[in-house]
Structure 1
Amino acid sequence: MDNLDTREWLLTNGLGSFASGTVSDARTRTYHGWLIASLDPPSRRTLLLSHIEATVEVGGQVWQLGTNFWGDGTIAPLGYQHLRSFAIDPVPTWIWSGKNWQLTRQLVMPYGLLSSGESGKTSNPQFCNRTLIQYRYEGSWAAILRLRPLIGDRDFHHQQLGEPGLYFSQLVIQQQVTLQASKLDWVGTPWHLRWSDGDYQPEGVWYWNYSYPEETRRGLGGREDLYNPGYLTVTIQPGAVLILEAKVGWPDPGADRLSALEFEQAVQAQEERVGEWERVRREKFLNCQSPMPDTDDIWHQLLKAGDRFIAYRASIAGPTVIAGYPWFNDWGRDTLIALPGLALTTQRFDLAKGLLQTFGRYCKSGLIPNTFPDAGSEPFYNSIDAALWWIEILGLYLEATQDWDFLVEQYAVVRQIYKAFCGGTIYNIQVDATDGLLAWDAVGVALTWMDVVIDGQPITPRRGKPIEINALWYSALCWATEWANRLAREKQDKRESFLKQAERYTLQAEQVKVSLKQFWNPETGYFYDTIEPDSRPNPQIRPNAVLALSLHHCGFAEERARQVLRVARDRLLTPYGLRSLDPSDPDYIGRYGGDCIHRDRAYHQGTVWSWLIGPFVRAWKRFYPDAPLPFDWQLLQQHFQNEACLGSISEIFDGDIPHSAQGAFAQAWSVAEIMRHWHD
């Protein structure tokens, strides 16, 4: 494995479906496959097509191009030895070659939402989950290309075992095969594979005991059996192209014959989507007569990276954000934190508005969902900060767009959150009448972003009054003051009511600002992380203090803020983000690894979180406006372009040097925060 390039690539289609794999073409994860389709967007992600094993025969000699890990520890075939190059842009592209031949393979996953409307809403949506594969051959004479699809039908979190009673039916007609898995009490998803040329021979063979080393490393099951329904044989001439399409659903008998043009159009459509946002950005700089930044190539890649997380959720008929690939779904807190980078920086204001509308519609008991519902299920409201982030991001949206009609529409949600927090809501969330700070107290849950719970015990419980929660509360009160005063000017019939609201917000904000001084720890020159329910302060040095300094409205004294940032720079800052805990703390865990329990215990105990580089930049620029940033973007840029998942940013990194990338290989808020500040 040491000789294999196991850096990863990712394609998505705007529905939550994705394709992923490695540069060497060896599958190392359960989540690697060429068609992992969201059957109820963005949920029910199901692996249908794992990959296609290819052999090329030239002049009577056969080369096997595949590379697989097997349960007995072997690697076979050794196709990676013939791999000459790989490129990620514009689509994943592999080139294998020998003395007299060269075979290029490319994959593209076309955008899957076929109809859309304003503000991200969609009327009568049509979904299309498919992957296109293109082979191009060059050589001295014709070659025989033989392709074997390896398939499954299983939840993307699990492995498939070739158990008795699991069957795959196939129907071959007109250069396509329709496939469907079934067992005694279950019928799988129908899908089909079609091709532009060649002869298909049904066979039906199980390939047993694939091994996925990354899953083994993570302490999970790493064995899988895949089914090969048959093989396609093509005599391919020099310069010729072969196209295949894997698509969910029954085939269309009237579909046109596959051609290279269809593949090219899919690639072009992908580039045009990103090109539209690039055009908006160029107009922005032209309008303000500012010079264009000289990082256009990287910015273009960042736009593509950000777009991969935007998806459509069928159960709410609106947009959402996948928190990370390959294993996360959409989460409220993550979506809101990522929204400024993904939607405001790129001026995708309809997207931002649609996301805010959706969250506002699902506000309940003053809380915003942390997990969106699938059809027929209820949202999870296990977050104290999602509602506060909603207000913060609403403020940023309004500042960017001046869309004051939207404020009128959403102000009732602001009031709902405010009243619930002041009067008390679930998890014993309530403003403390003595100091105006926001507190919560519930055993067995974790309501902040440090949310790991193992066997009913939070690893970082943070009950009481967390620093960033109260900084968000202060900023929310300041926003509410501004909005109530604006509405008082615009709504003369309710002027007195709005003025009274503004006065109350102002008084509460002033009280909170005074009470925030309780968080100062003179011994460390840093803010306490929490004030516990029994009033004991927690002196652990965590990045939440930096979060508190990064919000639009900041209630902390300048000199103390500058001192906090100096401590954060010296104790928490790395080239990839902020550590979640000071390395000198006895609870610090410097490496994130092992089985699920060990990884969860390390998750917020020193692990570097790349998204936190954004709050650090904002806080540093506020309190050290004339000083350069105390880190170099170069290592993070190198990671984005050349490490882990090419063209994306990992969720987390080890706290200890060399800060190896860990966790999800592509994380929305990580990419979004870099987008938000790339030109800084």
Structure 2
Amino acid sequence: MDNLDTREWLLSNGLGSFASSTVCDARTRTYHGWLIAALDPPSQRTLLLSHLDASLEVAGQIFALSTNFWTGGKVDPLGYQLLRSFEIEPIPTWVWSESNWQLVRQLVMPYGRIKEEESGNRILIQYRYEGDTAATLRLRPVIGDRNFHHQQSAASELHFSQLVGQQQICLQAMRPDWTGTPWHLRWSAGDYKQEGVWYWHYYYPEEKQRGLADTEDLYSPGYLTVRLQPGDAIALEAKVGLPHPDQPDLSPLDFQQAVQTQEQRLYQWPSCQVETLLESSNLPTPTDKGQSPIFQQLLRAGDQFIVYRASIAGPTVIAGYHWFNDWGRDTLIALPGLALATGRYAVAKGLLETFGRSCRNGLIPNAFPDAGAQPFYNSIDAALWWIETLGLYLEATQDWEFLAQQYPVVRQIYKGFMAGTDYNIRIDAADGLVTWDFPGVALTWMDAVIDGQPVTPRCGKPVEINALWYSALCWASRWAQQLLSEPGANSRWLSNQRDRYTRQAQQVKASLQKFWNPGRGYFYDRIAPDDVPDPKIRPNAVLALSLYHCGFPAAQGRSVLKVASRRLLTPYGLRSLERDDPEYVGTYAGNSHYRDRAYHQGTVWSWLIGPFIRAWSRFYDSEPVPFDCQPMLEHFQQQACLGSISEIFDGDPPYAAQGAIAQAWSVAELIRHYQDLGRQGKGE
């Protein structure tokens, strides 16, 4: 495995479906496959097509091009030894070759449109051959039908039916008590032979490292044989559903058209005005930043997370690939980078409207379930992040009509916190601060729980929650004043609201001084329910300084940032706990228990570089941010998932990338502050 390039690639389609694997073409995770389809966008993600095993016969010699891991760590075939190059831009492209031949494979996952059946969950594959003589390409589809979190096992009761047609097969998994998803595979040339066979014991080394199930059985219904002359190409398409009876035959031109459509939608952004799933591109006139190649790559990376959710009939944000769904807190934190910094105001508005419509008891959902189920409200800060993000949207757009529509939601959140709401979230009348106390749950972003006990207990009064509360009160006061100028405004009522918010903001600002720890020159992370302050050095103090309205004096802000620079800052973000703390865990590894123990106990979170930059710019506006972005940009372009940013990194050098390979708020914060970093990275 040491000789294999196991860096990963990712394609997505705006519906929650994705394709992903490694540069060396070996699958190392349960989540690797070429068609993992979101059957109820963006949920019910189901692996259908794992890959195509390929071999090429040239002048009587057969070259196996695939690379597979098997139980025990055996690698067979050794196709990676013939792999000469891989490129992620503009689409994933592999080149295998020997002295007298070359085979190029490319993949494209067309952007999905929920209203257009013909543009649903699908992937297109093309092989192009060059050589001195004709060759024979054999392709064997390797398939499954299972939840993307789980593995498939061969069983006597599990069958895959196939209906062979003209240059296509229709496939469907079946058991006596269950019928799987119908889908089809079609091709532009070749002869197909039915020959069903199980491949037992595929091995996923990344799952082994995570302490999870790591073995799978996959099925192949047959194989395709294609005779290729030099310069010939063959295209294939795997697509959910049954084929349309009137669809034209597949051609390599269809592949090229799909690539051109993707390039038009993504690579001409922001100058083009092409219809997308949710809106037209609505970016401002291109600037130097917008024309930067690496910034354009960041825009494309951010686009992968904005998807359509069928259960709410609107936009949402996938928190990360491969395994995360859409979460309220993550969406709202990522929204300024993904939508406001890129001028996608309709997406931002739609997201805010969707979450606001689901406000209950003053809380904003932290997760939307599938259709027919209720949202989850297990977050103390999603509602406050909603207000903060609404404020940023309004500052960017001056959309006061939208403010008037959403102001009742602002009032509902305010009333919920004031009167008390779920999880004993309430306002302490003595100091005006937000507090909460509920056993067995973790309601802030540090939310790991093991055996019913939070790993990072933060009940009581967390510092960043109360900084958000202060900013929310300031926003509410400004908005009440703004609405006073609208025709037909209830002047007396709005004036009273404005004055009340202002008084409360002043009280909270004074009470925020309870968090100051002069001995360490830092903020207490929280004040526990028994009024004992927590002196741990965590990045939540930096979060508290980064909001639009900051309730802390400049001297304290500068001190906090200096401490954070020394104790938390790394080349990839901020540690979640300083290294000198006895509870610090420097490596995120092992099974889920060990990983959860490390998750917020020293692990580096890349998204936190955004709050650090905002806070630094506020309190040290004449000094450059003490952060060299080159390692982060090299990670983005050359490491882990090519063209995206990992969720987390080890707290100890060399800061190995961990967690999800592509994380929305990690990418969003780099988009938001790319210009502030003072470097343009490779490709400039």
Tell me which amino acid in the other structure corresponds to 2:251.
S
Residue 210 of structure 2 aligns with which residue?
218
The one-character-per-residue Cα deviations of 1:132-183 (angstroms, maximum 9, x if unpaired) are 0000000011100000000000000000000121000000011000000001
Give how far 1:276 is off.
5.5
The question of 1:23 aligning with 2:44 is answered no
Residue 259 of structure 1 aligns with which residue?
251
Give how far 1:246 is off.
0.3
The question of 1:176 aligning with 2:172 is answered no
Residues in 1 aligned to 2:117 and 2:565: alpha-carbon distance in whole angstroms: 48
Residue 157 of structure 1 aligns with which residue?
149
Residue 66 of structure 1 aligns with which residue?
66
The residue correspondences of 1:473-488 to structure 2 (distance < 5 A) are: 473-488=469-484
Aligned with 2:261 (options 269, 288, 299): 269
Residue 444 of structure 1 aligns with which residue?
440
The question of 1:246 aligning with 2:242 is answered no
The one-character-per-residue Cα deviations of 1:309-342 (angstroms, maximum 9, x if unpaired) are 1110000000000000010010000000000000
Residue 36 of structure 1 aligns with which residue?
36
Tell me the SS of whatever aligns to 1:395.
Answer: helix
Residue 314 of structure 1 aligns with which residue?
310
Aligned with 1:580 (options 572, 576, 579): 576
Residues in 2 aligned to 1:493 and 1:25: alpha-carbon distance in whole angstroms: 63
The residue correspondences of 1:281-320 to structure 2 (distance < 5 A) are: 284=284, 292-293=288-289, 296-320=292-316
The one-character-per-residue Cα deviations of 1:466-509 (angstroms, maximum 9, x if unpaired) are 00000000000000000001111214440110000000000000
Tell me the SS of whatever aligns to 1:384.
Answer: coil
Residues in 1 aligned to 2:285 and 2:266: alpha-carbon distance in whole angstroms: 17
Determine if contact 2:282/2:343 at 8 Å carries over to the other structure: no
RMSD: 1.3
Residues in 2 aligned to 1:643 and 1:659: alpha-carbon distance in whole angstroms: 12
The one-character-per-residue Cα deviations of 1:496-525 (angstroms, maximum 9, x if unpaired) are 100000000000000000000000001111
Residues in 1 aligned to 2:156 and 2:551: alpha-carbon distance in whole angstroms: 65
Tell me which amino acid in the other structure corresponds to 2:634.
Q
Give how far 1:190 is off.
0.5
The one-character-per-residue Cα deviations of 1:241-263 (angstroms, maximum 9, x if unpaired) are 10000000011121111112211
Determine if contact 1:282/1:292 at 8 Å carries over to the other structure: no
The residue correspondences of 1:205-604 to structure 2 (distance < 5 A) are: 205-275=197-267, 277-279=269-271, 284=284, 292-293=288-289, 296-604=292-600
Residue 14 of structure 1 aligns with which residue?
14
Tell me which amino acid in the other structure corresponds to 1:442.
F
The one-character-per-residue Cα deviations of 1:598-639 (angstroms, maximum 9, x if unpaired) are 000100000000000000000001100010110111000000
The two structures have a TM-score, normalised by structure 2, of: 0.96
Give how far 1:105 is off.
0.2
The question of 1:91 aligning with 2:91 is answered yes
Residues in 2 aligned to 1:136 and 1:125: alpha-carbon distance in whole angstroms: 29
Greater shift after overlay, 191-200 or 71-80?
Answer: 71-80
Give how far 1:544 is off.
0.2
Residues in 2 aligned to 1:68 and 1:524: alpha-carbon distance in whole angstroms: 53
Determine if contact 2:290/2:296 at 8 Å carries over to the other structure: no
Aligned with 1:198 (options 183, 190, 204): 190
Residues in 1 aligned to 2:306 and 2:533: alpha-carbon distance in whole angstroms: 40
Tell me which amino acid in the other structure corresponds to 1:163.
A
The question of 1:105 aligning with 2:101 is answered no
The question of 1:128 aligning with 2:127 is answered no
Report percent identity of matched pairs: 68
Residues in 2 aligned to 1:403 and 1:416: alpha-carbon distance in whole angstroms: 20
Residue 120 of structure 1 aligns with which residue?
none
The one-character-per-residue Cα deviations of 1:403-436 (angstroms, maximum 9, x if unpaired) are 1000000000000000110111111111111101
Indicate how the Cα distance of structure 1 residues 63 and 678 shifts in structure 2: closer, same or farther if over 3 A, else same.
same
Residues in 2 aligned to 1:485 and 1:441: alpha-carbon distance in whole angstroms: 34
Tell me the SS of whatever aligns to 1:490.
Answer: coil
Tell me the SS of whatever aligns to 2:271.
Answer: helix
Tell me the SS of whatever aligns to 2:675.
Answer: coil
Determine if contact 1:64/1:79 at 8 Å carries over to the other structure: yes
Greater shift after overlay, 7-16 or 70-79?
Answer: 70-79
Residues in 1 aligned to 2:648 and 2:292: alpha-carbon distance in whole angstroms: 26
Determine if contact 1:205/1:227 at 8 Å carries over to the other structure: yes
Tell me which amino acid in the other structure corresponds to 2:183.
W
Indicate how the Cα distance of structure 1 residues 339 and 283 shifts in structure 2: closer, same or farther if over 3 A, else same.
closer
The two structures have a TM-score, normalised by structure 1, of: 0.97
Determine if contact 1:114/1:126 at 8 Å carries over to the other structure: no
Give how far 1:73 is off.
2.3
Residues in 2 aligned to 1:233 and 1:559: alpha-carbon distance in whole angstroms: 72
The residue correspondences of 1:622-661 to structure 2 (distance < 5 A) are: 622-661=618-657
Tell me the SS of whatever aligns to 2:415.
Answer: helix
Determine if contact 2:270/2:290 at 8 Å carries over to the other structure: no
Residue 144 of structure 1 aligns with which residue?
136
Determine if contact 1:203/1:230 at 8 Å carries over to the other structure: yes
Residues in 2 aligned to 1:269 and 1:659: alpha-carbon distance in whole angstroms: 38
Residues in 2 aligned to 1:99 and 1:35: alpha-carbon distance in whole angstroms: 33
The one-character-per-residue Cα deviations of 1:2-27 (angstroms, maximum 9, x if unpaired) are 00000000000000000000000000
Residues in 1 aligned to 2:469 and 2:663: alpha-carbon distance in whole angstroms: 26
Residues in 1 aligned to 2:420 and 2:487: alpha-carbon distance in whole angstroms: 29
Residues in 2 aligned to 1:271 and 1:536: alpha-carbon distance in whole angstroms: 56
Q: Stretches of 4+ moved more than 4 A in 1?
A: 124-127, 280-283
Residues in 1 aligned to 2:333 and 2:269: alpha-carbon distance in whole angstroms: 20
Tell me the SS of whatever aligns to 1:28.
Answer: coil
Residues in 2 aligned to 1:491 and 1:585: alpha-carbon distance in whole angstroms: 57
Determine if contact 2:71/2:201 at 8 Å carries over to the other structure: yes
The one-character-per-residue Cα deviations of 1:268-310 (angstroms, maximum 9, x if unpaired) are 2222222454228998457xxxx62386110111111001111
Determine if contact 1:382/1:447 at 8 Å carries over to the other structure: yes
Give how far 1:114 is off.
4.6
Tell me which amino acid in the other structure corresponds to 1:81.
Q
Residues in 2 aligned to 1:608 and 1:255: alpha-carbon distance in whole angstroms: 50
Tell me which amino acid in the other structure corresponds to 2:309.
R
Tell me which amino acid in the other structure corresponds to 1:455.
D
Tell me the SS of whatever aligns to 1:612.
Answer: helix
Tell me which amino acid in the other structure corresponds to 2:126.
Q
Q: What count of residue pairs does the alignment treat as equivalent?
A: 668
The one-character-per-residue Cα deviations of 1:521-567 (angstroms, maximum 9, x if unpaired) are 01111000000011000000000000000000000010010000000
Determine if contact 2:283/2:344 at 8 Å carries over to the other structure: no
Tell me the SS of whatever aligns to 1:279.
Answer: coil
Residues in 1 aligned to 2:259 and 2:139: alpha-carbon distance in whole angstroms: 23
The question of 1:675 aligning with 2:671 is answered yes
Residue 662 of structure 1 aligns with which residue?
658
Give how far 1:125 is off.
8.2
Residues in 1 aligned to 2:261 and 2:367: alpha-carbon distance in whole angstroms: 31
Residue 50 of structure 1 aligns with which residue?
50
Indicate how the Cα distance of structure 1 residues 114 and 443 shifts in structure 2: closer, same or farther if over 3 A, else same.
closer
Determine if contact 2:539/2:576 at 8 Å carries over to the other structure: yes
